[in-house]
């Protein structure tokens, strides 16, 4: 989804910095490359990240000079406890192991707290449940994260070319629920920010 938003922003003539996880597949990367070739006037900077810590540092650094942040990354809510990381290889012969997970920090809430008056933030919420229930939860998160919009979609959107989604604004519904190709949803997000 992040690659689709970056491509839509480039096609609309915006300068883009794309924070791209090392695990993003080549097809998604191709969206950005294809759009960059078609939008010769656009400029794109790609910053790769591997870990939540890498992403946090990159978001903090890049958001300082950005007009908008679209946080489409599916950042894990948990990560292995650093105290439980083994300095040596674990052998399966050692039997079962217990892995302790700790919550990751909320990158968007932290950077959102530093938002300047004219900066805009689009958050993403992956939720499952009745529409009204998940919309209420997404609205609370929008406020907690200082976001201007939240794109709400179910877990089935992950890795799918089509997303059932809606976009909520602080004043209501900016885009009603519907099934849309991710490129169409991305263009709607860019239009909202313009």
Provide the percentage of residues in the chain whose pLDDT is more than 90.
52
Sort 21 into a burial class: Cβ within 10 Å, 0-12 / 13-18 / 19+: middle
3-state helix, strand, coil in the chain (%, to 5): 40, 25, 35
* pLDDT reported for residue 40: 42
Spatial separation of the C-alpha atoms in residues 111 and 97, rounded to whole Å: 36
- Residues near 63 by beta carbon (within 8 Å), at least 6 away in sequence: 69, 111, 114, 119
Indicate yes or no: pTM above 0.85. no
Query: Which DSSP letter does residue 135 get?
Result: H
Query: Which DSSP letter does residue 111 get?
Result: H
Enumerate domains of the chain plus CATH numbers. 2-79+97-193 (3.40.50.10300)
Confidence of residue 83 (pLDDT cuts 50, 70, 90): confident
- Does residue 181 carry a pLDDT above 90? yes
33-70 pLDDT tens trace: 555 444 444 468 888 888 888 999 999 999 999 999 99
């Amino acid at each position: 989804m992040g690659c689709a938003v970056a491509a839509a922003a480039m096609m609309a003539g915006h300068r883009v910095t794309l924070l791209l996880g090392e695990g993003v597949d080549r097809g998604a990367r191709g969206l950005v490359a294809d759009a960059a070739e078609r939008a010769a006037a656009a400029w794109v900077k790609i910053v790769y990240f591997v870990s939540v810590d890498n992403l946090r540092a990159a978001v903090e650094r890049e958001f300082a000079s950005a007009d908008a942040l679209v946080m489409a990354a599916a950042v894990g809510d948990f990560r292995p406890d650093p105290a439980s990381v083994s300095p040596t290889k674990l052998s399966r012969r050692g039997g079962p192991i217990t892995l302790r997970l700790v919550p990751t920090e909320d990158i968007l809430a932290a950077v959102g707290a530093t938002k300047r008056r004219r900066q805009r933030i689009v958050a993403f919420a992956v939720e499952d449940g009745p529409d009204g229930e998940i919309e209420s939860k997404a609205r609370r998160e929008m406020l907690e994260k200082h976001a201007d919009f939240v794109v709400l979609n179910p877990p089935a959107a992950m890795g799918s070319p089509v997303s059932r989604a809606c976009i909520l604004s602080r004043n209501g519904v900016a885009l009603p629920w519907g099934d849309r190709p991710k490129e169409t949803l991305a263009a709607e997000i860019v239009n909202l920010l313009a």
